[in-house]
Amino acid sequence: MKLAGQVALVTGGSRGIGRATALVFAAEGADFAFCHLDDGTKADETASEIRALGRRAMHRSVDVVDVAASRAFAGEVAAALGPIDILFNNAGMNIRKRFEDYTEADYDRILDVHMKGMFFMAQAVYPAMAARGRGCIVNVASQRGLKGAVNSAPYCAAKAAIIGFTRALACEAAPKGVRVNAVAPGPIVTDLTATMAPEDRQAFIDALPVHRFGRPEEIAATVLLLAGPDGAFYVGATLSPNGGDVMY
């Protein structure tokens, strides 16, 4: 198994891409901890599925914007499961509005969840990884950070910032044995895309070369590549499984 004996921490792990990644990692031998935001029922279900694969699992409700809570959770995971080998920074959200309709509160929440939450969760696990001389951090960006989109200006800005953050941290971390990369998914069947207006959703599907949205499991496979031994030569990279929405 590619992740045998390792400990992974995932933000936003109770459903969607986080849940799919949890199950792939557990199947590959990793013990698993994840946080969510007041999603206890789904979190319990995900944890049960991980344990059914023979791995240890734990979860907590943590708002990643709360830096002290994120640090405390990372410390709790390390104490309960052992040193954290992999961080998958997956937590995210969006508020869709016209640019002129966004409030300061909207902007702050979107940027804080994506950038502040990601930055300080990485900071919570990075020193121990660097001290051990090994570790892996995978950040979730988006194809919208590569191409932009209507009614999502703060979200697109945050996702583009994540790509820059990933590259910067990778430069510092690689000499210390810690690899940092990003995955930039295209449209995936998740709760986030379920909030799209039906006509917008269908127009998006029609425009994609593959004529469908992706599955969370398809993104989990990319995360496994970046986190596992097969991704050892990826440093500061952004892989974008997006069904042809962005070609570069």
Residue-level pLDDT, tens digit, the chain, 248 residues = 999 999 999 999 999 999 999 999 999 999 999 999 999 999 999 999 999 999 999 999 999 999 999 999 999 999 999 999 999 999 999 999 999 999 999 999 999 999 999 999 999 999 999 999 999 999 999 999 999 999 999 999 999 999 999 999 999 999 999 999 999 999 998 876 777 778 888 888 999 999 999 999 999 999 999 999 999 999 999 999 999 999 98
**Rg of the Cα atoms in the chain:** 17
Distances (CA, A) of 205 to 70, 118, 151, 243: 36, 29, 17, 10
Query: Number of folded domains in the chain?
Result: 1
Residue 203 lies in a domain: no
Residue 222 lies in a domain: yes
Residue 56 CB contacts under 8 Å (≥ 6 apart), including other chains = 31, 32, 50, 81
What range defines the domain where residue 68 resides?
A: 7-186+216-239
Active site residues: 155
Residue 161 lies in a domain: yes
CATH number at residue 181: 3.40.50.720
User: Structure pTM?
Assistant: 0.95
- Long-range interactions of 46-49: CB distance < 8 A, separation 24+: 46/13, 46/14, 46/15, 46/19, 46/22, 49/22, 49/23
Q: What is the pLDDT of residue 201?
A: 82
Q: What are phi and psi of 111, to 5 degrees?
A: -70, -35
Query: Is there a contact between 166 and 182 (Cβ–Cβ < 8 Å)?
Result: yes
